[in-house]
A and B are shown apart, each in its own frame.
Chain A
Amino acid sequence: MSVDTAAQPAQEAVHQRPKIVTSKQRVTWVSLALLVLVVAGVVWGLSIGSQQISLSRLPGAIVRADEPDELIIQSIRLPRVVLALCVGAALAVAGALMQAVAANPLAAPEIMGVNAGAVFVVVLAITVVPSLSGAPTILLAFGGAAAAGVSVMLLAGSGRGRVSPVRLALAGVTASSLLISLTQVLIIFDENSTDSVLFWLVGGVNFAGWQDIRNLLPWLVLGLIGAFAMARSLNLLALGDDMARGLGQNVERTRMTGSALVIVLCGAAVSVAGPVAFIGLVVPHILRRLVGSSYTVLLPLCSIGGGALVLYADISSRYVKPPFEVPAGVVTALIGAPIFVYLARRQKVTS
């Protein structure tokens, strides 16, 4: 089966939007615009901070980093920018995957409780074993993310055929708030600093270091490659289960693989950057509007767009009141809430 025959009907089926067929030209323009945004954001992100550093130092900072200015760039600003890009990519692609797997436009890791589950387990682990950090916490985060996601699906009643998107969202948000409350209880028992409370409740890349990126990167690469590789199966899945089966898809296997990738991407991102809000909901929906619903195009663009969104959220968070920094998650929540309202309004409620 050629790429075109698979992609075209899929675009028509997903979420029943009339204006679907997008030209290659449009995709090219959107990708170019996103890349320009990312490059501009990286330069901007590297150039702001309490110390004025000219951008001509950038190459030197990457290669050797001898002088203080170069060291600042290399050890503080660069990891922050890189981590923002990585976390955004992971969460946005996970969101798109989730919407495909659950056949539900309101599905997203932060709404289905996946992020909150990961945070809860990570904070629990840190409370019990304070020295714990890095790789083992990521593995634990996978466990938490998986447990929370599966429970929400079961609670919303996915056993009885198609679940209404709104019910799934309500169940997920409530489960999230429960997990967040438990996390807060743990934080109160553990230590009393507003910084750590805000970090684990809101998420952000303020404290980024190269170690975080090293921990995240293998999982991110695995998750992204896996997601891109299954883009065509996801397009078929969007036609509906029966149609996909008729076309020779193993629907259950596609769902399982997709869910596993969501858990890898979210667990890894959340365990290094906290639950940055609404990325997985907002980015796929905006990009779907711009380039259509074919996952072969959508997933790669989501990885760039998500990175750009977190990067700019982080940058604007530094302008709010200079020595203080609002975590990027606050900014993304403010952007995401209106889009969530818009999506909720569009739902036909059947409950």
Chain B
Amino acid sequence: MSAAIVAQHVRRTSLAQRYPGILMGSLGVLAVVLSFYSLSVGATDVSMTDVFNAVIGNTGDQAAQIVVQFQLPRVLLAWLVGIALGVSGAVMQGVIRNPLAAPDVVGVTKGAGFAGMLLLLAIPGMPVVAVVPAAFAGGLAAAALVYLLAYRRGATPVRIALVGIAVSAAFEAGIRFLLVRNPLDVSAALIWLTGSLFGRSMSSVLEILPWVLVLVPLIVVWSRRLDVLGLGDDLAAGLGEPVERTRRLLLLFAVALAAAAVAVSGTIGFVGLIAPHMARRVFGGKHVASIPAAALFGVLLMIFADMLGRGLAPPLEIPAGLVTAVVGGPYFLYLLVKTGK
């Protein structure tokens, strides 16, 4: 099904696909501009000049302090989480050849969230650095569970999605269960239930940074292999690709990226699903273009969601995960209606 969609996009080469560099560059510029604007949005009004001063290092006055201490980590985190989720979704959709695959659809997000929270609550003195491996284990376990449960003479896209929803529901019940047993404050609870960048500091940025820095370039380098996998198992094997090993490694990378994102920002939904779709629509099916594009669209979505959540009704905060769900839900429905035809 996805192969058909991909093929259809490849055939219809648009201007964007012939000159991907220009459009990619302008998307990047847009993301940077949006980030700067986002730095000025929040409970306290900060002017754009203050933002510039703060970013180039003049951290004298109070406004600059606010920008550097509270806003900057959030915006950086929005970039990293957006990249991680977008790339993770693109790889999953490419490897499973399933347009409905995404870290949240196949249960990785909720599984990682549950494991991360379990670790934090079970061992109170636990260093936060250990959350990422725990989330990784949880996400991997959830993904394996979904695949096994959905497998019945092959695992069709729709059945994976449905089983993923059920497994996610179970893990979400688990998260709620932990929340009731260990009453946290509301904002912490919402971070784990819906995902949010509220109250995150530079240390969170440093936690996710190595994962993104190592895995994303690796995946981009391997994007040719993703294209080869997209040709089908037989053809890929004929071209000398160790199909199973490549597929397993790529999936492992995708789960690791999603888990790192969940560990710092909670369970943010739908970004990993819709960013790759947007990327494929604009840049076509070649992964060397669509994976960086998915990362950029992920960044744009995250910055937009975080900014909207912060700016809509300050000082109240709407978690970014709620905004992405409100935007992403209809898009998923649209995909569902479209894949049925």
Contact = CB atoms under 8 A, between A and B. Distances in A.
A169 B326 contact: no
A337 interface: yes
B176 A202 contact: yes
B310 to A, nearest CB: 12
Interface of B: 149-150, 152, 156, 158-159, 161-163, 165-167, 169-170, 172-174, 176-177, 179-181, 183-186, 189-190, 193-194, 269, 313, 316-319, 322, 325-326, 329-330, 332-333, 336-337, 339-340
A340 interface: yes
Contacts of A156: 336
B113 to A, nearest CB: 15
A178 B325 contact: yes
B185 to A, nearest CB: 8
Interface in A213-272: none
Contacts, number: 137
A340 B166 contact: yes
Contacts of B149: 341, 345
Interface stretch (A40-48, A84-92, A192-200): A192-200
Given A182-B326, A188-B317, A330-B177, A338 B170 contact: yes
B332 A349 contact: no
Given A185-B318, A344-B166, A345-B152, A175 B333 contact: yes
B333 A174 contact: yes
Contacts of B189: 194, 197
A327 B179 CA distance: 11
A340 B162 CA distance: 9
A330 B176 contact: yes
B333 A334 contact: no
Given A341-B166, A347-B162, 6 more contacts: A156-B336, A173-B165, A178-B325, A181-B194, A337-B173, A347-B159
Contacts of A202: 176
B170 A334 contact: yes
A181 B337 contact: no
A169 B316 contact: no
The 9 closest A-B pairs by CB, nearest first: A178-B329, A337-B170, A333-B173, A181-B325, A340-B166, A344-B162, A341-B166, A326-B180, A349-B156
Contact of A155 (B322, B333, B339): B333
A31 B162 CA distance: 33
Contact of B162 (A166, A192, A198, A201): A166
28 contacts: A155-B336, A156-B336, A170-B161, A171-B336, A174-B332, A175-B329, A178-B330, A184-B322, A185-B322, A188-B190, A188-B316, A188-B318, A189-B313, A189-B316, A320-B177, A324-B183, A326-B177, A327-B180, A337-B167, A338-B166, A338-B170, A340-B165, A340-B166, A341-B163, A344-B163, A344-B166, A349-B158, A351-B158
Contacts of A177: 269, 325, 329
Given A166-B159, A167-B158, A344-B162, A351 B340 contact: yes
A157 interface: yes
A277 interface: yes
Interface size class of A (residues with CB under 8 A): 35 or more
Given A177-B269, A333-B173, A169 B162 contact: yes
A188 B174 CA distance: 22
Contacts of A166: 158-159, 162
A177 B313 CA distance: 22
Contacts of B319: 184, 188
A193 B185 CA distance: 9
B183 A194 contact: yes
A17 to B, nearest CB: 18
A325 interface: yes
A175 B180 CA distance: 26
A64 interface: no
A237 B207 CA distance: 58
Given A166-B159, A194-B179, A327-B180, A181 B167 contact: no
A178 B162 contact: no
B163 A170 contact: no
A162 interface: no
B301 to A, nearest CB: 15
B166 A334 contact: no
Nearest to A178: B329
Contacts of B318: 185, 188
Contacts of B152: 345
Contacts of B179: 194, 198
A197 B186 contact: yes
A169 B158 CA distance: 10
Contacts of B340: 157, 167, 351
Nearest to A332: B173
B159 A170 contact: no
B176 A170 contact: no
A181 B322 contact: yes
Interface in A141-193: 155-157, 166-167, 169-171, 173-175, 177-178, 181-182, 184-185, 188-189, 192-193
Contacts of B322: 181, 184-185, 188
A337 B159 CA distance: 15
A201 B190 CA distance: 12
B194 A184 contact: yes
A330 B325 CA distance: 21
B4 to A, nearest CB: 13
Given A178-B330, A184-B322, A341-B166, A330 B180 contact: yes
A349 B158 CA distance: 7
A189 B156 CA distance: 40
A303 B177 CA distance: 27
A194 B167 CA distance: 24
A19 interface: no
A24 interface: no
Contacts of B184: 194
B336 A167 contact: yes
Nearest to B165: A173
A68 B332 CA distance: 55
Interface string A313-351: 000000011001111001001101110110011010101
